[in-house]
C-alpha cells in the first residue's frame, strides 16, 4: 500500500506546529504576566508594634529563619535540588506549618524576626497564606512583607508542575518602623528562565532609637544554586555599599537572613562532628567589609541541609548559610543556631542578642 507523502507530512507537521504554538503561547503569557517590581518600593507595614524608640540601654534579641515555605521538613527531598518530590503531602504540609508557627511563637523574647521563603499563595503549600498566618500569631508586632517570587505557572516538572507561586520575605518587629522598603537586587537569570525564577530583593526597615540615631535592619535572601554565583556577586556589592553608607551617617546596621553563602570566616571542621559539614566555594571575599564589621554566626551548629534526599543526621551534608552582619557600633553578646533537627524546614533558626553601643 502506498502512503500519500502529503498526508504523511501533515500527520508529522501538524502535531509539531501545535506543540510549538502551545509553547510559544505559554511563553507569551508568561512574559505578559511577568512580575516586574520597581528597583525601590515602599512597603506598608501592618500590625500594632510599639511606637516608642528602640532602646540603646538594654539588650535586643533577633532571629532569622528560612522556613522553606513550610514544605521542606526532614522527610522531604526536592526535585529541583536532585530529589524526586515536588511538594509534601497535605498531612506533612500541615505538620510543617504547625511546627513552624509553634517554633516561632515559642522563641525566647524576640524583638525582631526575619523570615524567608514565606508563601502567601502557592500550589506547593496548598494555597495557605503563611504570611497572614504568621503575622496574626504576633499581634503586638508590625510586619513587612516583600514578594520575591511571583509566577502564574511554573511549568516544571512537566507532568507534576510546581504551578503558581507567590512567596517572599517577612520582617516582624516589636517596634514600629519609620519606613520599610523593598530594594530589588540588580541580578537576574537570562530570558526565558528569568520569567519563572525569583526576583531577589531585601527589606530595609528603619527604626528610630532613643539616642536620636536609627537602627537599619535588613532582611535578605540571596540567590541560590551553583549557577547563581555571578548573581550573588552582583547582589553583594550594592548591599555592602548601602550598609557602609548608613553606618557613615552614624546609624546602627544589622543585615540578616539566608545569604546562600558561608559567613566569614567559616571552617566546616568546627561544626559538631556528627554532622557532614561542607563549605560553599568560592566564598565571600575576605575583605568584603572593613575589618571592624562583625559576622555573627554559630560555628558549631549548621543552619542548612541538602535536600536531594530526606534528612538523616550524620549522613546528610550540612552547612551554614544563615547569619547576621553587624556594624562596628553594635556589641554582639550571644549568637546560637537553634537545633530543630530540620523537622519543619531545610534551615534551622538563628538567634542573636546585641546591644547598641
Q: What nine digits make up the cell of 204?
A: 530595609
Compute the mean pLDDT over every residue in the chain, rounded to the nearest whole number. Answer: 92
Taking the C-alpha atoms of residue 330 and residue 357, their distance in angstroms, rounded to an integer, is: 5
- Share of residues in the chain with pLDDT > 90 (%): 75
Q: What is the pLDDT of residues 42-70, one digit of tens each?
A: 999 898 888 889 999 999 999 999 999 99
Q: Are residues 97 and 235 in the same domain?
A: yes
If asked whether residues 3 and 115 sit together in one domain, one would say no
Q: What is the DSSP letter of 260?
A: S
| Residues 109 and 7 reside in one and the same domain | no
3-state class (DSSP) for residue 41:
strand
Q: In the chain, what's the furthest Cα-to-Cα distance? A: 95
Q: Are residues 44 and 83 located together in one domain of the fold? A: yes
Structurally, the chain folds into a number of domains equal to 2
Domain that holds residue 106: 38-356
**What H or E segment, with its residue span, contains residue 318?**
strand 317-319
Do residues 196 and 275 share a domain?
A: yes
Q: What is the pTM of this model?
A: 0.94
Mean pLDDT across the stretch 115-124? 98
Are residues 103 and 28 both part of a single domain?
A: no
Residue 277 C-alpha cell reads as 559539614
For 194-221, the pLDDT digits (tens) are 898 999 999 999 999 999 999 999 999 9
Look at residue 2 and tell me whether its pLDDT is greater than 60.
Answer: no
| Under 8 Å between Cβ of 254 and 218 | yes
Predicted confidence (pLDDT) per residue in 120-146, tens digit: 999 999 999 999 999 999 999 999 999
Q: What pLDDT score was predicted for residue 12?
A: 66
Amino acid at each position: 500500500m502506498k502512503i500519500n507523502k502529503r498526508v504523511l507530512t501533515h500527520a508529522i507537521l501538524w502535531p509539531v506546529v501545535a506543540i510549538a504554538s502551545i509553547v510559544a503561547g505559554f511563553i507569551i503569557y508568561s512574559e505578559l504576566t511577568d512580575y516586574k517590581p520597581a528597583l525601590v518600593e515602599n512597603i506598608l507595614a501592618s500590625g500594632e508594634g510599639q511606637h516608642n524608640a528602640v532602646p540603646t540601654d538594654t539588650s535586643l534579641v533577633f532571629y532569622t529563619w528560612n522556613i522553606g515555605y513550610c514544605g521542606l521538613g526532614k522527610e522531604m527531598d526536592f526535585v529541583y535540588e536532585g530529589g524526586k518530590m515536588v511538594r509534601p503531602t497535605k498531612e506533612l504540609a500541615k505538620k510543617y506549618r504547625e511546627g513552624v508557627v509553634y517554633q516561632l511563637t515559642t522563641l525566647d523574647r524576640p524583638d525582631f524576626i526575619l523570615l524567608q521563603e514565606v508563601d502567601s499563595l502557592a500550589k506547593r503549600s496548598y494555597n495557605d497564606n503563611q504570611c497572614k498566618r504568621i503575622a496574626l500569631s504576633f499581634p503586638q508586632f508590625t510586619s513587612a512583607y516583600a514578594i520575591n517570587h511571583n509566577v502564574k505557572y511554573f511549568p516544571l516538572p512537566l507532568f507534576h508542575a510546581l504551578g503558581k507561586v507567590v512567596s517572599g520575605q517577612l520582617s516582624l518587629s516589636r517596634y514600629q518602623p519609620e519606613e520599610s522598603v523593598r530594594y530589588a537586587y540588580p541580578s537576574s537569570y537570562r530570558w526565558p528562565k528569568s520569567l519563572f525564577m525569583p526576583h531577589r530583593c531585601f527589606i530595609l526597615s528603619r527604626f528610630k532609637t532613643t539616642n536620636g540615631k536609627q537602627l537599619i535592619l535588613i532582611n535578605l535572601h540571596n540567590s541560590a544554586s551553583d549557577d547563581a554565583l555571578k548573581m550573588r556577586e552582583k547582589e553583594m556589592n550594592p548591599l555592602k555599599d548601602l550598609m557602609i553608607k548608613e553606618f557613615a551617617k552614624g546609624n546602627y546596621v544589622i543585615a540578616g537572613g539566608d545569604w546562600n553563602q558561608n559567613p566569614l570566616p567559616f571552617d566546616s571542621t568546627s561544626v559538631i562532628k556528627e554532622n557532614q559539614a561542607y563549605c560553599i566555594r568560592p566564598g565571600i571575599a575576605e575583605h568584603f567589609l572593613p575589618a571592624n564589621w562583625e559576622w555573627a554566626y554559630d560555628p558549631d551548629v549548621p543552619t542548612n541541609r541538602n535536600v536531594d534526599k530526606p534528612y538523616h543526621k550524620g549522613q546528610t551534608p550540612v552547612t551554614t548559610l544563615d547569619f547576621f552582619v553587624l556594624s562596628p557600633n553594635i556589641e554582639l553578646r550571644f549568637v546560637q543556631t537553634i537545633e530543630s533537627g530540620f523537622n519543619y524546614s531545610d534551615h534551622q533558626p538563628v538567634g542573636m542578642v546585641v546591644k547598641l553601643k
